[in-house]
């Protein structure tokens, strides 16, 4: 394995839902379903991991060509010519308008100004013509933030500024998803499907990320070995609550918002992170053990299993609607 990881058993485990069998990702079938369509991954670097995983799986069929309109690696577009299918990545780790206020901040991870009621135009101005949007966000909300609403400071998360109330990351997290969904539901010409890909927990053990924490397990947890709790549970529940609000509003407008729930499956995969194997051992770099990202084949590939299954469900829904319309027309 590149960068020296010796074990490979993490590639052999697959998620199995209760009471049903989830089919393994079929790249040929996927590309036929998305023929002539476009898909946008909107969010942070974990969302980029999802796109990269899918590209690896699709390489069995075809390698894409780079059709990006910019050299900025945060905004990439790839096209599969044989299928006229384009996928894109939009970097927006907070989903809303955000600015770096201090590159260091109180924890040396930056201090960010978040405008909780304002859209991030880097993705919102380009998204309406896509057929599928896959939305995600999470880990950047652990960093210090100052919250703005109506252009005024309303509070923060661990900003350590005088006379500014600490509202916690959960306040900003909820508001960010609410604003992102508000934008999507405001689109008049969007006819596609939006998927909320739920939070994927990190797996630091024996310390926090900056206190020597690591993820050295080589096998998944069993379902009764661990539970979703604490901060991870709170972030997940906020996503579910905001999803339900947005879904209800979308239905009124004939729009489609779906839940791509990967949280439980990934909670059980502490073996799926790079840990210290994100670079060569001899390289002179200072990096923390990476127990956040999913850069290894296997665990994250399950997300494509989920997505393909949901695209099939979407196709069946569309077929049933067309059949009902046909029956009404002929009655």
Instruction: State yes or no: is 74 an active-site residue.
Output: no
CA atoms within 13 A of residue 1's CA, in its CB half-sphere: 16
Vertex 318, ends 313 and 320: CA angle to 5°?
95
Q: Could you say which DSSP state residue 279 is in?
A: S
Dist CA 325 CA 115 (whole Å): 44
| Residue with tokens 């898909």, as numbered in its chain | 39
- Grouping H, G, I as helix, E, B as strand and the rest as coil, residue 328 is helix
Q: What is d(CA 147, CA 73) in angstroms, rounded to the nearest whole number?
A: 27
Q: Which residues pair with 119 in a beta bridge?
A: 96
Nearest to 193 by CA among 261, 259, 258: 258
Annotated catalytic residue, options 271, 290, 301, 305: 290
Q: Name the one residue in this structure whose structure tokens are 């380009």.
A: 126
User: Residues near 48 by Cβ (< 8 Å), separated by ≥ 6?
Assistant: 41, 89, 91
Spatial contact of 239 and 199, defined as CB atoms under 8 Å apart: yes
Of 44, 117, 293, 304, catalytic:
293
Please, which residues bridge with residue 290 across strands?
A: 275
Pick from 87, 80, 98: which is nearest to 42 by CA?
87
And the tokens for 39? Answer: 């898909």
Reply yes or no on whether 7 is catalytic. Answer: no
Q: Report in angstroms the alpha-carbon separations of 318 from 127, 156, 324.
A: 22, 44, 10
Residue 45 a catalytic site member: yes
Distance between CA atoms of residues 47 and 183, nearest Å: 19
Tokens 């993490």 belong to residue: 10
- From the list 208, 206, 182, the residue with the least C-alpha distance to 119 is 182
Round to whole Å and give the CA distance between 52 and 146. Answer: 32
Q: Which residues are catalytic?
A: 45, 290, 293
């Amino acid at each position: 394995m590149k960068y020296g990881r010796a074990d490979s058993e993490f590639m052999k485990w697959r998620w199995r839902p209760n009471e049903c069998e989830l089919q393994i990702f079929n790249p040929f079938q996927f590309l036929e379903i998305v023929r002539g369509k476009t898909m946008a991954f909107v969010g942070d670097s974990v969302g980029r991991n999802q796109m990269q995983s899918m590209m690896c799986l699709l390489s069995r069929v075809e390698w894409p060509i780079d059709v990006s309109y910019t050299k900025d690696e945060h905004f990439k577009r790839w096209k599969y010519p044989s299928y006229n299918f384009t996928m894109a990545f939009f970097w927006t780790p907070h989903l809303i308008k955000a600015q770096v206020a201090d590159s260091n901040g109180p924890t040396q991870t930056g201090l960010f100004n978040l405008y909780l009621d304002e859209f991030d135009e880097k993705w919102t101005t380009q998204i309406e013509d896509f057929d599928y949007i896959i939305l995600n966000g999470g880990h950047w909300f652990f960093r210090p933030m100052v919250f703005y609403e109506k252009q005024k400071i309303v509070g923060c998360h661990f900003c350590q500024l005088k006379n500014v109330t600490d509202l916690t990351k959960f306040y900003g997290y909820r508001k960010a998803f609410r604003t992102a969904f508000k934008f999507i539901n405001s689109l008049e010409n969007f006819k596609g499907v939006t998927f909320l890909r739920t939070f994927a927990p990190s797996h630091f053990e024996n310390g926090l990320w900056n206190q020597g924490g690591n993820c050295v397990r080589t096998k998944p947890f069993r379902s009764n070995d661990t539970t979703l709790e604490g901060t991870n549970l709170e972030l997940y529940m906020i996503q579910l609550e905001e999803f339900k609000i947005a879904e209800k509003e979308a239905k009124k407008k004939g729009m489609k918002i779906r839940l791509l729930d990967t949280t439980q499956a990934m909670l059980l995969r502490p073996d799926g992170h790079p840990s210290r194997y994100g670079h060569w051992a001899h390289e002179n770099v200072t990096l923390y053990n990476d127990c956040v990202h999913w850069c290894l084949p296997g665990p994250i590939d399950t997300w494509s299993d989920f997505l393909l299954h949901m695209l099939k469900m979407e196709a069946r829904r569309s077929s049933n609607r067309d059949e009902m319309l046909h029956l009404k027309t002929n009655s």
